[in-house]
Amino acid sequence: MDKNEQGPLAAIPVQALSLALTRSTIKMQHSQSWSIDKRNSVHDLVICLTGTAQYEIAGETIDIEPGCAMLIEANTRFVGRTTSQELYTGVAQHFTLDVFGRMDMMSQMDMRRAVKLPRWDMLQPLVRHYRESVPMSSTTLAQHHLFMVLLIDFIEAAFLGWRQQQEASVDNPDALSLAVMVAASRIAADPLDDDIVAKVLSSIPYNLDYFRRVFRRQVGLTPTKYQEFKRMERAMGLLAGGRSVKQTAAFIGYSDSYYFSRMFKHYIGVSPAGYKAAERRHRDGQFPRGEEDGQVVYPLLSRRLESRPETH
């Protein structure tokens, strides 16, 4: 199985998340004598540009070097000091990330406290621009969106798994909606695992029949159908990348390529061969189906996505 294409937040609707930068970015520039011992009332994401430092957080020793990002959770005491002769520079951003405006999103995930950002060659210029462009005493719209890019990259690199959802009253729509989104995210992250739906549902703290109904109402498909849909999305990428219909079918778990073709057309609205042909026309600059922006529109897929109810 290849690397998962879906990040942990893949099934979280944009409108469900609320990011707040609680102060302007701290433009770190620390000499050899710098040290700190404090706690913040909100989360803090630290990204190192130059130099090195060492932190002690909850009994864990963390060494930071260029390209490393570290999350210090809200109300967590941390002790830090510079460990290089070179200036220790970077950014530290205080923030909150809530789901439905009331539940802390970061506390729903198990994550490594610090990671080396995997796309640092691309992110380093962005971090430098973020550091140099933000005002000293306020936050801006551009700062907000740039930080979300950095935060998502950190989450995708540091994510270990979703924490066990706690049973809540069915009258609590926030907790139930979050449980659905977590379940959908876990399915989307590994749709080629034949047992993924069973694994996900086994950890759900709700009546399963009730949860399946809510999942279908919120996502637009049952958990099993949602897995099939995500497999077809994976197939779209494989077909567009040049794999044959037979190779694609085998890769996503269908031994019968004819059955796979029927399923693909059911979910996507066009046969695999038709999809490959449309992608070729798109690459050649031909705009199929009259779409001036060159994007292929698949009616069945569009209807399914547009018919999803609001999550909250």
> Under a CB-based contact definition with an 8 Å cutoff, are residues 232 and 272 in contact?
no
Provide the CATH number for the domain formed by 165-312 in this structure.
Answer: 1.10.10.60
Q: Cα(173)–Cα(252) distance, rounded to whole angstroms?
A: 34
**What pLDDT, on a 0 to 100 scale, did the predictor assign at position 16?**
82
Q: Is the entire prediction scored with pTM above 0.75?
A: no
Q: What are phi and psi of 240, to 5 degrees?
A: -65, -25
Please provide residue 131's backbone torsions phi and psi, each rounded to the nearest 5 degrees: -65, -40
Of the pLDDT bands very low, low, confident and very high (cuts 50, 70, 90), residue 2 is very low
Stretch among 12-26, 230-244, 275-289 having the lowest mean pLDDT? 275-289
Both tokens of 108, joined, read 């729903």
Residue ranges covered by each domain of the chain: 14-162, 165-312
How far apart CA 256 and CA 152 sit, in angstroms, is 38
Which DSSP symbol is given to 140?
-
Cα separations (Å) of 173 from 89, 100, 160, 206, 222? Answer: 43, 10, 26, 13, 19
| All residues at 6 or more sequence positions from 66 whose CB lies less than 8 Å from its CB, including other chains | 48, 49, 50, 51, 120, 124
**pLDDT score, position 311:** 42
Whether pLDDT at 146 is above 90:
yes
Can you tell me the distance from the alpha carbon of 56 to that of 85, in angstroms, rounded to the nearest whole number? 20
**Residue 99 buriedness (CB in 10 A; 0-12 / 13-18 / 19+):** buried
List the CATH code of the domain at 14-162.
Answer: 2.60.120.280
Q: How far is CA 17 from the centre of its chain?
A: 12
Q: CA dist 125 to 27, 66, 131, 164, 225, Å? A: 15, 12, 10, 37, 41
Please state, for a pLDDT cut of 70, what percent of the chain lies above it: 86
Cβ–Cβ under 8 Å, residues 262 and 270: no
Q: What is the mean pLDDT of residues 130-135?
A: 89
pLDDT tens-digit series, residues 182-213: 888 889 888 999 999 999 999 888 889 999 99
> Please, which residues bridge with residue 124 across strands?
none
Looking at 89-98, 114-123, 232-241, which range is the least confident one?
232-241
Average pLDDT of 101-117? 91
Least confidently predicted of 21-35, 240-254, 277-291, 295-309 = 295-309
- Please check whether the two domains, 14-162 and 165-312, share a CATH topology: no
pLDDT exceeds 70 at position 293: no
**Distance in angstroms (rounded) separating the CA atoms of residues 64 and 51:** 8
Distance between CA 128 and CA 136 in Å, rounded? 15
Higher pLDDT, 139 or 156: 156
pLDDT given at position 310: 47
Please tell me whether residue 287 adopts helix, strand or coil conformation: coil
d(CA 82, CA 32) in angstroms, rounded, equals 5
* Average pLDDT over all residues of the chain: 86
Report angle CA 47, 27, 137 to the nearest 5 degrees: 130
pLDDT at 312 over 70: no
